[in-house]
Amino acid sequence: MRITRRTLLLGAGAGVASVLLASCTPEPAPTPTPTRTREPEPPPGVPAPAASIRSTWTSDPFALGAASFTPVGVLGATRTALARPIDDRLFFAGEATDEDAPGTVRGAISSGTRAAEELMGPGVPGERVAVVGAGLSGATAAALLAARGMQVTVFEARDRVGGRVFSRVDDAWPVPVQLGAWLFGEDDADVLDRLTSGEVGILDLAGELWRTPDGDIDPVDPKPFTAALTAAQAAPEDSSVADALTTAGIDPADPGTAALLAILAARTGADADELSSWFAPPLPTGDPRAAGDSLTPFVEHALDGVQVGLSSPVARVAYDDTGVSVRLGTGEALSFDRVVVTVPLGVLQERSIEFDPPLPFANRGAISALGMGAIETVWLRWDEPFWGSEESIWHAVGGHVMIPTWINLRPATGENVLVGIVGGASAAAFAELDEDAALDAALASLSIYV
Ligand SMILES: Cc1cc2nc3c(=O)[nH]c(=O)nc-3n(C[C@H](O)[C@H](O)[C@H](O)COP(=O)(O)OP(=O)(O)OC[C@H]3O[C@@H](n4cnc5c(N)ncnc54)[C@H](O)[C@@H]3O)c2cc1C
């Protein structure tokens, strides 16, 4: 059943008044920037789009980045330290706590399942449990805990659920605009199963185009790149991905290698000089698949029947032997038996939530050791296509473009929509541009595809 925000809020029980009152807190600047109206100065051959919209996760106060990554010299097991429960009162979920698939939807869902299981160890049905954050990890934990008989209240800072899953449905767009996660690879079969059983249509993004300023080239062979990382993973000490490549005699600045690194940056949010070679995810293989429908009903469905307070940022979590006090941005405090904290790593690093007493060294050490990467996306729509390619995934090789990776939705949907994805320092720089400059940078990045 598709539930609406109204039913979510009406589903609240005693203490609802507090939750609803809290929803009057002022809303910070939203993540997406609106569809622009200015006529840009398009580079020759790239006409002005009919609509455009972009993300700014890097500066979003409730994300402060896109995805966690493992920096050079940091162990993947640091994520287990981040996830470590405290005094059977505080539990942690969120993609950053998942050692197997950090920075992904898969990791977020799996972390929510793990945290709920951990809580049910000491927890007793009927207890009051707070879940901080209504992203996929929080929704997964909340659903499982509610199913096990807990009285669950979810506090979400935004005026919507989903967190870094954010589908915008808008009259200006013939397809839902996915400003967060929407792409899935070969390891995501379980997630795709869940999505399809939640009636989310899946698109096959078939075919790759590799384009230099001088024309099309054969796909860049990833084998030397992958072999360099495999060799680095056998070394006695961790090194950055950039150093691993250099050690193997590969120049990270070579245009083909830089194109592969751009794919890695768009996946991890990190550049080659900061990313651990031991814990770097492999380059994607096979055609990616994508959510073709809005993902919002999928998240809402998970929260069906759970009490959710939207626009309710948590400012402080105090805990002792007897329970947990959760204080909202309004100053209102509510008591619970246990809490699951699912906010993004960037929010923990910014110390937007005060913990009293402070978190143990192990948890704090993990928060400061892990990295929060930058990924941004820009969606552009034209009435008529200016391109002839029938390939779905485009890679720029050379040409110094700001946004090197594009998804052409025309083959899968028939719509003239191109989606740019950029990660690492370029993403952070893109997020800082004003609207006009961002659109100009996006169109300039497309000029080699004309
Ligand atoms: C641009 C982009 C593209 C991506 N692409 C993909 C992809 O294609 N495939 C993929 O698998 N993954 C992708 N990811 C990663 C994926 O989106 C995340 O790993 C996943 O959604 C994280 O879920 P989560 O529940 O851990 O965190 P979130 O979804 O961030 O949920 C945490 C929630 O906590 C809330 N919150 C923050 N502070 C507070 C507070 N003080 N009080 C209360 N609530 C608070 C937030 O608003 C948020 O709703 C992408 C991410 C981005 C940004």
pLDDT in tens, 49-78: 999 999 999 999 999 999 999 999 999 999
The atom of ligand 1 lying closest to the CA of 155 is 43
Beta carbons of 332 and 21 less than 8 angstroms apart: yes
Distance 105 CA to ligand 1 centre (A): 8
The atom of ligand 1 lying closest to the CA of 95 is 26
Cβ neighbours around 28 below 10 Å, total:
14
Model confidence pLDDT, tens digit, residues 259-299: 999 999 999 999 999 999 999 999 999 899 999 999 999 99
pTM greater than 0.85:
yes
pLDDT of residue 273: 98
57 lines ligand 1 (CB under 6 A): yes
The atom of ligand 1 lying closest to the CA of 134 is 49
Atom 38 (ligand 1): residue with closest C-alpha?
62
> Is residue 303 packed enough to be buried (19+ CB in 10 Å), middle (13-18) or exposed (0-12)?
buried
pLDDT of residue 41: 62
C-alpha span between 363 and 79 (Å, rounded): 9
Distance 412 CA to ligand 1 centre (A): 26
With pLDDT > 90 as the criterion, what percentage of the chain qualifies?
A: 88
Low-confidence ranges of the chain (pLDDT < 70): 1-44
C-alpha span between 18 and 286 (Å, rounded): 49
374 lines ligand 1 (CB under 6 A): no
pLDDT of residue 14: 33
Distance 207 CA to ligand 1 centre (A): 28
Residues 6+ apart with CB under 8 A from 209: 216, 389, 391, 393, 394, 395, 408, 449
420 lines ligand 1 (CB under 6 A): no
pLDDT of residue 32: 54
Model confidence pLDDT, tens digit, residues 19-48: 433 333 333 444 555 555 555 566 667 999
Atom 50 (ligand 1): residue with closest C-alpha?
181
